[in-house]
Copies of this chain bind each other. A is one copy, B any other.
Amino acid sequence: MGFKTRNEYISEGDDVLIFLDLKRTYLVKVKRGETFHTHKGFVQFDEILGKKYGDRVSSNLGVQFFLLSPNVYDYLGKALRATQIVYRKDVALITACAGIGPSSRVIEAGTGSGALTSALAYYVGEEGRVYSYDVKADFQEKALLNLIRAGVSDIVELKLGDAIEGFNEKCVDAVILDLATPWLVVSCAYEALRGGGCFVSFSPTIEQVKKTVKALEDDGGFIDIETIECISRRFQVKEGKTRPETLMIGHTGYITRARKVYR
């Protein structure tokens, strides 16, 4: 039932994150009688059934795996990909900049692989709603699989259509854009947002940021316009070897936000 599950014991059909180490984790659905294969031998699901989340299981080669309940970021990391990766830090910041949480109503464009969509759905919860637009039907098909897998398909309405032509919803709390041309959607976002609602755009390039900020300023219906970049740095913490990691993701994208006011 997706990342909202919080049963103590693992049952048939549950999702389990099988954890070997920081770099090797597997998100699987438990099916009685079946087997899961890894580089370190295979694991029989029948041995998993009835264990608790947090327990361990051994492969036939004696390698030990941990059984975890996947959370929203595990689903994010394991989403079937139609498009680029969305990083945890960016999802967290986008959500924060949008000011959204339980029971928020949010428009997203585009849907892409549905990875960000899943996360938004998780944060708005069952009382909330995510309307997700994309022009590509095949993206939305793959996205639907990711939403179902994450157990949030009931919270999301996938809408096939071009954001540039406008949104059907009114008075939403936030419009979140992960599009090549966010500046073309600024006036549609204005129409869809409630007074004080948040516009958030995530873009890798500076040209996109400049055009989007200019469109927000020209529109006349937005204040509190701000662009930030968030850089996440992993630390190696070991006695005598403590230091930031050598190789890092240097840039993913810029986040531009604004709030709607009546013109």
Instruction: Report which A residues bind B (CB closer than 8 A).
Output: 3-4, 6, 8, 19, 22, 52-56, 66-69, 71-74, 88-89, 91-93, 95-97, 99, 101-103, 122-127, 171, 173, 194-198, 204-207, 209-210, 213-214, 223-224, 226-235, 237, 239-252, 254, 256, 259-262
Choice from B8, B194, B246 contacting A8 with Cβ under 8 Å: B194
Q: Which B residues are CB-close (under 8 A) to A261?
A: 54-56, 66, 68
Q: Which B residues are CB-close (under 8 A) to A229?
A: 232-233, 235, 244
Within the assembled complex, what's the spacing in Å between the Cα atoms of A14 and B259?
19
Q: Which of A127, A171, A198, A235 has the most CB of B within 10 A?
A: A235
The closest CB in chain B to the CB of A25 belongs to B224
Contact B254 A235 (CB under 8 A): yes
Q: Which B residues are CB-close (under 8 A) to A71?
A: 99, 198
Contact B232 A228 (CB under 8 A): yes
Q: How far is the CB of A25 from chain B (nearest CB, A)?
A: 8
Choice from B4, B239, B247 contacting A249 with Cβ under 8 Å: B247
Within the assembled complex, what's the spacing in Å between the Cα atoms of A8 and B127?
18
Contact B231 A230 (CB under 8 A): yes
- Apart from the given pairs A4-B102, A8-B194, A246-B249, 11 other A-B contacts in the complex at a CB distance below 8 Å: A52-B262, A68-B196, A102-B102, A205-B243, A206-B242, A207-B239, A207-B241, A228-B232, A243-B251, A244-B250, A246-B251
